[in-house]
Amino acid sequence: MKIILLGLLFLLCFDLQAGIRKSKLKVLYVGGSSDVYANINRGKVDSVLLLEGAKKRTVAFEKLLKQYFKYVTAIDAKDYQPVLSEDYDVTVMDGLPQPIVPPTMQEDPFGRFYGEKREGYLPQDFDRPMLLIAELSSLIGARLGLKTDWCCLCLDADAHHIRTEHPMFKGPFPVKMSMVMKPTPESAKSIAKSEGEVVPDSILMWRVQKEGYTTKAIRPGMISKSAGFLDSPDVEFISGGVSAKGLEEVAIGRHGNFLHWGFSASPEEMTEEAKSVFANAIVYISQFAGQAPIARKFNPFIVTEKHLKSTILRATRAAYEERVSTLKRIGKEESTYGEYLKSMFPELYFSFGTDEKAYKDYYMNNAGYFMPRPGRVSFLLDEDARSLGISNHDIRLLDEAIRLLEEGTDVAKGHRLLKRYTLCRFETPAEWRTWFETNKSRLFFTESGGWFFLVNTRDKNVPGNDYRGKNVERRGYG
């Protein structure tokens, strides 16, 4: 009887384990982050506590991964080198490795620096599948030009606006998603109002973590900027998440061979439903080996179409009055509407004064002809594009610019436009025409990627996607 009982117990345990059919993918987990957020209590967190938290977190992730994958290796970030990823199908990055490139500052065309010093942790041509957890997407991805950049380290415990039809939520591991209607965050309502939009009072949400940083002293997650995120074919928006920002920001998304998992929780704090989705995310990104990003967001402050809308709203009396109200609450006073406009729009003020409609008409009538103003987070009107009556987002602009070269009618303008909106540097009209006709079906325009037309290809023999050109260096990208 004892033998029979032991046999039944063994079968029962086997069946429980057999509920998950393990994947044969080889997974490398790179740890080093702690569940404790170092900036809580103004950075007064014991270093020993952080180290213990990191070890505990690594053990938890290794245990989780081994439930879903046959081959799992866990190492500390200090021991990671990019070459190690060559031996694995997916690298899960949860710690900051040693930099391979020293920190340097971004520089604008006028020699002014912006942003923080940035180290490089991976080669620019790194194309192995990688899942980046929380702020690692930005810290590691900044020098690579990943669109999964730092919007806010304020992602909480719930996901929303989820693309439930996405493969990550279908398998290979079984997924159950308990969607619940919850109140829309007040911060999202406020941001929507400031942008002239209305959001519903409640939205469907899915719990990813048992608790978030707003209810427990743990690491916050990181969301990425939605502005310009989808303007290239190498990205996917997968899910938003509750944060201090708007509803459209990116909590889970993909750029090339990198998957941003913005939620910060250790497996011990993940919901059971989230664990299987996390495992599916690893399987999903494994398919993108060799598919490095095409568009690169080297300038984190680059303006996009979303900024144009907010610029128009900023010129309104309503925006001015909101600012006055805000300043009064903190005991400060705002200047007059005219002085406000003069400070916000110095060039336009001398033409439009306090004519609110004139500002709106100016931006709306020229919407297709704006480009980033060098050294500032604002727009500059492209008089060359406007003179031709063709939007700088329209592929016909390149065609017309090449025609100017071919006909010799305005060669200087043609060269300016081609240099401004492409990464190519051909010498003759014939070279430009051959490149354009060969690739026009694959050309796309990206704002977040630098306001360039790029070619939807990873073939390095095809000109058009090399950000190392002199034009890019001068404009401060990378």
According to DSSP, residue 478 is labeled -
pLDDT surpasses 80 at 109: no
Proportion of the chain above pLDDT 70, given as a percent: 90
Cβ partners under 8 Å of residue 476, min gap 6: 106, 107, 108, 109, 114, 298, 299
pLDDT surpasses 60 at 15: no
Question: In 359-472, where do the E strands start and end?
Answer: 370-372, 379-381, 443-446, 452-455
Indicate the range of 68-72, 103-107, 306-310 predicted with least confidence.
103-107
Indicate the range of 113-117, 390-394, 412-416 predicted with least confidence.
113-117
**What are the two backbone dihedrals, phi and then psi, of residue 391, each rounded to the nearest 5 degrees?**
-60, 145
Tokens of 153: 């380290």
What is the pLDDT at residue 194? 80
Proportion of the chain above pLDDT 90, given as a percent: 75
What is the pLDDT at residue 328? 86
What is the pLDDT at residue 107? 52
Instruction: Confirm if 310 and 316 have CB atoms less than 8 A apart.
Output: no
pLDDT surpasses 60 at 365: yes
Mean pLDDT over 458-478 rounds to 69
pLDDT surpasses 60 at 110: no
Cβ partners under 8 Å of residue 460, min gap 6: none
Please identify which residue in the block is written with the tokens 């306001």.
451
What is the pLDDT at residue 469? 63
Tokens of 349: 């003020």
What is the pLDDT at residue 79? 97
pLDDT surpasses 60 at 42: no
Residue 404 three-state SS: helix
pLDDT surpasses 70 at 24: yes
**81-95, 186-200, 208-222, 373-387: range with highest mean pLDDT:** 81-95
Query: Residue 32, by phi and psi: left (phi above 0), alpha (psi -120 to 50) or beta?
Result: left
Instruction: Confirm if 156 and 214 have CB atoms less than 8 A apart.
Output: yes
Indicate the range of 17-26, 33-42, 257-266, 342-351 predicted with least confidence.
33-42
Mean pLDDT over 188-217 rounds to 91
pLDDT tier for residue 289 given thresholds of 50, 70 and 90: very high
What is the pLDDT at residue 39? 58
pLDDT surpasses 60 at 137: yes
- 71-89 pLDDT, tens digit each: 999 999 999 999 999 999 9
pLDDT tier for residue 58 given thresholds of 50, 70 and 90: very high
pLDDT surpasses 70 at 141: yes
pLDDT surpasses 50 at 9: no
Q: Which residue has the higher pLDDT, 306 or 46?
A: 306
